[in-house]
Structure 1
Amino acid sequence: MQLKTLFSIVLIFILPLYLFANANVTGKVTDAKTGETLPGATVTLPQLNITTITDAKGQFNIKSLPQKGTYLIQVQYIGYKTIVRSVDISAVSSLNFAMEASIIETREVVITGTPISASSRNNSTSASSVSREDLLIPSTNLIDALAKQVPGVSQITTGAGISKPVIRGLGYNRVVTLMDGVKQQGQQWGDEHGIEIDQNQADRVEVLRGAASLIYGSDAIGGVINVLEPLSPSPGSIKGEVLSSYATNNGLTNSSVMLTGNQDGFVWRGRGSYQNAYSFKTPAGYYINSGYNNTSFSGMLGFNKSWGYSHLNFSYFKNNIGFYDSDPGDPLYTNDGTSRTLDYPRQDIRQYKIALNNNFILGSGNLKLDLGYQKNQRRELDSSVPGLFFDLNTYSLDAKYYLAAQNGWQPIIGISASEGHSLNKGTEFLIPAYDQTSVGAFGYIKKTWEQSTFNVGLRFDYVNNNGKALTLADGTQKFPGFKNNFSNVSAAAGYTHIFNEDLSFKANAGSAFRAPNPAELGSNGVHEGTSRYEIGNATLKPERSYQADAALEFGHNVITGSIGVYENYVHDYIYASGAKNDQITIVDDNGNPQTYDVYRYGQVNANLYGVEGSLNLHPTGFLHLDNSFSYTHAQNTSFDKPLPLIPAGVVHNTLRFEPKIKGLRDFYASIGLDNYFSQYRIDPTFETPTNSYTLLNAGIGATVKIGRQPLKLYISGNNLTNKAYYDALSRLRPGRLSQEDPTYGVYNPGRNITFGFYLPLNIK
């Protein structure tokens, strides 16, 4: 049965559940020392997609709850330690929380992207949560924002408009991005293919570092980026937000409007966003035709009832990106790059998505069911007619049943499946049209006792690829076609222990796998966005990863931090590489010969290990020194040389002042240094080293009241010294096979000042 048919059947069966009744729980939030109530505290049940705010008396009333079950409740208030507590709903009708004051905002939050939701300290997975407040820090896109804040996360960039996530040195199809509980499928095999997600949609982002294939199957051997939209507001509420910013480097304007509401358990949300940028400026000038613009619309309709919740999410994202296609010797820069009209060549990318997210309370357990459909269309245009035109349609299903916890044991079982169908609709061809089917099943159990937890799981996956043969009109066989099947059994185990309030430990070990994608198996053509000719290998084997990591998290009010180490051995690691003098000449549609470097997909064994951590000092309530660091060492063990495309080591330092100023709320001023080490560990056949560099950043901001609405204003500066540098993961840096390559030696963006505001709206 096709997944699209199953999608329709499930809709019919779940509709009657909307008639069930609701239960309520009330409570109060107070200061633990003084007993005073705390109005405006946020009370959240992440597993049920419910949030509310305490009233003027510090009281709250949560409706639409199940009649029974144990759930995590998270309570947050600025200036206090976050509370995460497991509560049996059937055993209480009133909940009171006494919060302890703290000079820092603790990072204790509920992580939902792991098999079983848990507080970050009780979760063995190495995970970071980036809040809405942190996501407002100026950035060019969502991945850029995460790379600035999460140790171990970096990005492969093509100018300011395209960023691909890299976690602990692994990127491309080795990192899964989730939105609305569904894997984002957007041709992520390509160097210059970014993430088709509106960065303004995210209310919170969870970054899971290390292999996560146990729950997400193939492609998650590097980690997971779980993008979470705002939770449903309390019944009777209507909220919203307006935000806008302007950046001086490339004239980037970013604006977004959102409204969300809850009427007796009927929940809804709508958002519209628009971004527009001209060419980015380097210390040498504007890089030609590097502007971009994108438009996005998204919405949600659903129900929050005592039986759980059911939400229908839909989104549309359209992105236009210019790129430069010059001949050797042509200039890379211009003194006037402020036109917002994109020239050819350019990309026209469109992503359509529908996701039905459900959480049904069934007896003493609950069933989470996510159904998704995505259409990704990627056009690469040399004129109004697309040359390359990929049309990918993906249907997906993910189901997890959580059995009732007994004596500290929490078991779950799950299945997942997806169907992908890709067509070539252009006049040029790079990869064959293909069909891809994958299915998987897993079992997982977690044991909690006193201050320790232990978890273990097992998963089976099966992937089928069917590449279609293609013969051109002149009789030339472009693609011979391929058919292959891959299967794998993965296992994982984890352990956590909380020694005391100030020290905790976590460790993980496991195996994972990734099936070769159709581009790696069947490419045969010019990849316009990368200016190279790519050749696949239909005999590739799946990658198999064996990884382990461990981390200590420590600290109290004055000092907090973490230190972690990891190792990941990948057998049959896949990547495309070139060799000098391996070139091919192609005659274009105008009869002009074009010579391209040839990149061929092959396999080696690889070993990646490294360290990451943070150290944060808070000597007073208004002075904070935050530091983070990460380093990855990657070796091609088959040929005893470094692995290509590995980020340089980096240390981030930020000094932040938060004095109390009359008439202003949340005032801050910050100054920071981003220290990137040199990267001399490169594949010498097609890479060149990058030097070390330091970037100076600064920011200032505050919140003022407009009537009852708080307005956040900020100014942020990046690379204030206008440093000329090349990032080790920039696709525009020096290091192609030939210095005659027209993309040789484009600096990263220079000085950038961003002005912005954020206005949350409490309408009802």
Structure 2
Amino acid sequence: MPRLLWAQAGTLTGVVRDEQQRPVPFASVALPTAKLGATGDAQGVFRVTDVPAGPVRVVASAVGFTAASRTVTLAADEVLDVPLTLTAAPAALTEVVVTGVSRATEVRRSPVPIATLSRREITLNANTNVIDAAVRGIPGLSAVTTGPNVSKPFIRGLGYNRVLTMYNGLRQEGQQWGDEHGVEVDGYDIDRVEVVKGPASLLYGSDAVAGVVNLLPALPSGPEGRLRGEALTEYQANNGLIGNSLGLNYQKNGFQTSFRASNRMARDYRNAVDGLVYNTGFRELTLTGMVGLSKAWGSSHAYLTLYDNRQEIPDGSRDSLSRRFTRQVFESGLDDIKNRPLVSDDELNSYAISPLHQRIRHYRLFTKTQVHLGGGELHLLLGAQQNNREEFNHPTVRSQAGLALQLTTYTYDVRYHLPEWQGLQISLGSNGMGQLNRHQQATDFPIPNYDLLDAGSFLLLKKPLGKLELSGGLRYDLRLVNWSDFYVGPNPATGFDAQSRAGVPGAQLQFPAFRQQYRGVSASVGGSYLATERLTLRANLARGYRAPNIPEIGSNGLDPGAHIVYLGNRGFRPEFSWQQDLGVLWHQPTVDVSVEVFHNYVQNFIYQARLLNDAGQPVVIVPGNTTYQFQQAAARLYGLEASLSLRPAALPWLTSSSSFAFVNGENADAARLEREGPTARYLPLMPPLRGRTELRATLPAREGCRLTATYFRASLDGSARQNHFLALDNSETATAGYVLLGLGAGTTFASRAGRPVAQLVVQVDNVFDTAYQAHLNRLKYFEYYAASPTGRTGIYNPGRNVAVKLVVPF
């Protein structure tokens, strides 16, 4: 009889206490692998039933404390007592992660650099999206931005299709090649962010060559048979952001369900140079639901998410003397950028979405199943998602979309963790996707309709040898891309271009048929060594693989939201990277220190640069839009990240955390450098040297006081001047350095019984209203004039922002 039918369960009980052995009221206790959870009572006592027998990881957390984790072994029908102790300060090196590793692994034992961000840290900051929240807290992670609500994650200088973004393990597919295409996820729903820094192609295949950002929602928690949840509201003064969210969850006898509805809206943001920046507002609605079972045999959960965002599209057009923003009122043939009408103050202050905007609707449906089978564990993920993107750029026919793409993706991921044999852990599996991308009723066609099939298989090994733990593996990937002849011609009914057919008068072949296979082998070997109880050394060598994306090989048209005409190259080969990582980590009760250095050599690196004619002048195919052509060359990136956390024993209420990140990216093609000169030396979109320091004082709890976990914080976030930029053809320019001061405070209101009633957070970012441009801010280059009467060109980042957030659990 299969072992599956013999699955047995037990019960976990215990008390969550602090370092002084005082009970922590209403702490959350989660069993991530088993998809189970509970909330302790006023005395910190918890109980979790129907826990599968065998090894199980238990994680406890509470507001004002660092999450604590233990792994215990539970026998069938056993009631096991598991005491848990929380500390009042960060100790990230001992956290357990699941992203980028075959099985649950402690951060410091992973040879691949992994960083995490908790729900508490996300809540304590004022963010306009979850990627910005992660950038604040994770060194080595940066973002290319287009206004406050569009942030694309970059890891160690690499982004777009080189970073795989996932929602609860499901890869996010939403035209991520575009500059102004953000991540379609509800930030209020995210309980934890896990970031893999470096090639993660071994587990995830192409598109993870730079790393992975996994956005994880919360598990249901609380006593069985009781509806639990939270209501959240926030306001941000800079762009008038109003956010509201309601989350509910319920569990009983292994049945689990949760639901969340969130709505956010914002008008144009403000800074000291530009005033209100026209067309940077948005309206966003998200619905998320989950239903599942968690039993002794394993668990199975189904998720459904619906995302709808109307995002304005800035273009930066202005009056040349007053520098006030102007708006387009005619089509491109009649449009005179220098004589557009001024935007009124009413329009700048309005929450109404302007006619020129993009609308993104993203739907996900997927299941995650885990089964105890044959002494091991089988994991299966099956998903379907659809991304509908419309960019409205026709001022005279406002209902006519310029870009209208529908991307449908089907995803599978299956892996089996074999039973341990003499300490050796073996995991094998396969994952992949099928995609169909189709133009709808559009007038602009930057890429063709295409079909894509992607599949890969992998083998992972991990073996502890005393203080040394070794891990590694091998993966093979295959990707097939094809499309048919794609014609574009005039549509007499609308007066615009439209998709057409061969033989139709005026039809032109914009995308000739294409079919190509891409293959790649990924490999990794690394290890961690516990030199002492406090000192960990780790190293990893990885070979990553990435197939060219569709715009890189097939683009030939205008992306209206980006204001860029893209030109691809059908002959591109896959990218292959060789990355070396070395890390030193020190952990003790009062100090955490980590230093990570890396070197990454990329063969066939694909990047874009402005296209010039024979006279050295920029090529203009569509007036008012820049023309870029993708190119390929060898590249080299290297850098380091360091962090320091202090918790003075003499001042237990005070914590200090500092981080530092540096990356340098250079063109390694000697022939190209000789031909194009020193302006081509550096790679585009390299983040400058960046540092962040925060001091936080948490007041000790007082007997009978209704305010708990009260804190005050101050932060300095600085970026150095970026002189290492792609100067070829004026693709980029130098960016000045800056330092921003942030202040914050918060507290939790408790009932007479000690139960949290409400959490209040107040945050002030950019206290001195510093005028600055981040190097990865695309709006920096939205400028139509060679000079400005103020001496400042482009659009600046947001100025001072005062934010208030209220979270009410129930």
- TM-score, normalised with respect to structure 1: 0.92
Q: C-alpha distance in 2, partners of 1:739/1:534?
A: 23
Q: C-alpha distance in 2, partners of 1:273/1:562?
A: 37
In the TM superposition, residue 549 of structure 1 has moved relative to its aligned partner by 0.8
* Structure 1 counterpart of 2:626: 597
SS for the counterpart of 1:472 is: strand
SS for the counterpart of 2:136 is: helix
The aligned runs of 1:308-347 (5 Å cut-off) are 308-325=298-315, 329=319, 331=323, 333=325, 337-347=348-358
In the TM superposition, residue 277 of structure 1 has moved relative to its aligned partner by 0.3
Q: Percent identity?
A: 33
In the TM superposition, residue 671 of structure 1 has moved relative to its aligned partner by 1.2
Q: C-alpha distance in 1, partners of 2:512/2:301?
A: 43
Work out which of the residue numbers 390, 394, 400 in structure 2 matches 1:385: 400
Residue ranges of structure 2 left out of the alignment (5+ in a row): 326-342, 490-505, 674-680
Deviation string 1:672-722 (CA, Å, 9 cap, x unpaired) is 111110001011121100011111110011111256443111110011111
Residue ranges of structure 1 left out of the alignment (5+ in a row): 1-16, 587-593
In the TM superposition, residue 243 of structure 1 has moved relative to its aligned partner by 0.8
The aligned runs of 1:405-420 (5 Å cut-off) are 405-420=420-435
Q: C-alpha distance in 2, partners of 1:211/1:555?
A: 26
1:177 aligns with 2:165: yes
Deviation string 1:151-189 (CA, Å, 9 cap, x unpaired) is 001110011121000111110001111113210000000
Deviation string 1:505-547 (CA, Å, 9 cap, x unpaired) is 2221110111011111111111111212111111111110111
Alignment CA distance shift 1:728-1:37 (3 Å): closer
CA contact (8 A) 2:57 2:70 kept: yes
SS for the counterpart of 2:695 is: strand
1:367 aligns with 2:378: yes
1:127 aligns with 2:172: no
Alignment CA distance shift 1:77-1:388 (3 Å): closer
In the TM superposition, residue 64 of structure 1 has moved relative to its aligned partner by 2.5
In the TM superposition, residue 193 of structure 1 has moved relative to its aligned partner by 0.7
SS for the counterpart of 1:386 is: coil
User: What number of residue pairs does the alignment pair up?
Assistant: 735
Q: C-alpha distance in 2, partners of 1:30/1:181?
A: 29
CA contact (8 A) 1:157 1:730 kept: yes
Work out which of the residue numbers 642, 654, 668 in structure 1 matches 2:694: 654
In the TM superposition, residue 618 of structure 1 has moved relative to its aligned partner by 2.1
Alignment CA distance shift 1:497-1:178 (3 Å): same
Q: C-alpha distance in 2, partners of 1:35/1:147?
A: 35
CA contact (8 A) 1:213 1:219 kept: yes
Work out which of the residue numbers 636, 645, 660 in structure 2 matches 1:616: 645
CA contact (8 A) 1:247 1:755 kept: yes
Q: C-alpha distance in 2, partners of 1:554/1:436?
A: 45
Deviation string 1:709-752 (CA, Å, 9 cap, x unpaired) is 431111100111111111000001148797489x9510111110
Q: C-alpha distance in 1, partners of 2:118/2:20?
A: 28
Q: C-alpha distance in 1, partners of 2:30/2:77?
A: 16
In the TM superposition, residue 121 of structure 1 has moved relative to its aligned partner by 2.4
1:645 aligns with 2:690: no
Q: C-alpha distance in 1, partners of 2:355/2:787?
A: 21
Work out which of the residue numbers 424, 442, 452 in structure 2 matches 1:436: 452
The one-letter code of the counterpart of 2:566 is E
* Structure 2 counterpart of 1:572: 604
* Structure 2 counterpart of 1:145: 133
The aligned runs of 1:63-142 (5 Å cut-off) are 63-66=49-52, 68-76=53-61, 83-90=68-75, 93-99=78-84, 102-107=87-92, 108-113=94-99, 114-136=101-123, 137-142=125-130
SS for the counterpart of 1:681 is: coil
In the TM superposition, residue 637 of structure 1 has moved relative to its aligned partner by 1.2
Q: C-alpha distance in 1, partners of 2:646/2:68?
A: 22
Work out which of the residue numbers 636, 646, 654 in structure 1 matches 2:667: 636
The aligned runs of 1:237-276 (5 Å cut-off) are 237-276=226-265
Deviation string 1:460-484 (CA, Å, 9 cap, x unpaired) is 0000111332122313111112111
In the TM superposition, residue 657 of structure 1 has moved relative to its aligned partner by 1.5
Work out which of the residue numbers 160, 173, 198 in structure 1 matches 2:148: 160
SS for the counterpart of 2:582 is: strand
SS for the counterpart of 1:583 is: coil
Alignment CA distance shift 1:610-1:292 (3 Å): same
1:672 aligns with 2:703: no
1:281 aligns with 2:243: no
* Structure 2 counterpart of 1:720: 767
Q: C-alpha distance in 2, partners of 1:249/1:459?
A: 47
* Structure 2 counterpart of 1:298: 288
The aligned runs of 1:203-242 (5 Å cut-off) are 203-233=191-221, 235-242=224-231
The one-letter code of the counterpart of 1:574 is I
Deviation string 1:607-646 (CA, Å, 9 cap, x unpaired) is 1110101112222111222111101011011144011111
SS for the counterpart of 1:529 is: coil
Alignment CA distance shift 1:169-1:380 (3 Å): same
SS for the counterpart of 1:380 is: strand
Work out which of the residue numbers 567, 582, 585 in structure 1 matches 2:618: 582
1:625 aligns with 2:656: yes
SS for the counterpart of 1:540 is: coil
CA contact (8 A) 1:535 1:600 kept: yes
1:475 aligns with 2:460: no
Alignment CA distance shift 1:725-1:600 (3 Å): same
Deviation string 1:329-373 (CA, Å, 9 cap, x unpaired) is 564546552101121321000101101111111120111100010
1:487 aligns with 2:519: yes
CA contact (8 A) 1:508 1:549 kept: yes
Q: Where is the strand percentage greater, Structure 1 or Structure 2?
A: 1
Q: C-alpha distance in 1, partners of 2:487/2:64?
A: 66
Q: C-alpha distance in 2, partners of 1:497/1:226?
A: 26
Alignment CA distance shift 1:535-1:82 (3 Å): closer
Alignment CA distance shift 1:739-1:441 (3 Å): farther
Q: C-alpha distance in 2, partners of 1:31/1:756?
A: 28
In the TM superposition, residue 70 of structure 1 has moved relative to its aligned partner by 2.4
1:499 aligns with 2:531: yes
* Structure 2 counterpart of 1:14: none
* Structure 2 counterpart of 1:447: 463
CA contact (8 A) 2:484 2:512 kept: yes
* Structure 1 counterpart of 2:735: 690
In the TM superposition, residue 55 of structure 1 has moved relative to its aligned partner by 3.8
Which shifted more, 537-546 or 73-82? 73-82
In the TM superposition, residue 448 of structure 1 has moved relative to its aligned partner by 1.9
Q: C-alpha distance in 2, partners of 1:515/1:736?
A: 34
RMSD (Å), alpha carbons? 2.4
Q: C-alpha distance in 2, partners of 1:372/1:157?
A: 28
SS for the counterpart of 1:233 is: coil
Q: C-alpha distance in 2, partners of 1:677/1:206?
A: 27
Q: C-alpha distance in 2, partners of 1:165/1:498?
A: 32
The one-letter code of the counterpart of 1:655 is L
CA contact (8 A) 2:25 2:41 kept: yes
SS for the counterpart of 2:221 is: coil
* Structure 1 counterpart of 2:411: 396
Q: C-alpha distance in 2, partners of 1:308/1:181?
A: 17
Q: C-alpha distance in 2, partners of 1:753/1:466?
A: 50
Q: C-alpha distance in 1, partners of 2:17/2:128?
A: 39
Q: C-alpha distance in 1, partners of 2:372/2:808?
A: 36
SS for the counterpart of 2:806 is: strand
CA contact (8 A) 1:121 1:498 kept: no
Alignment CA distance shift 1:81-1:719 (3 Å): closer
Q: C-alpha distance in 1, partners of 2:522/2:25?
A: 48
CA contact (8 A) 1:481 1:522 kept: no
SS for the counterpart of 2:736 is: coil
The one-letter code of the counterpart of 2:770 is K
The one-letter code of the counterpart of 2:254 is G
CA contact (8 A) 2:583 2:595 kept: yes
* Structure 1 counterpart of 2:184: 196
CA contact (8 A) 1:155 1:163 kept: yes
Work out which of the residue numbers 526, 542, 547 in structure 2 matches 1:510: 542
SS for the counterpart of 1:430 is: coil
* Structure 2 counterpart of 1:591: none
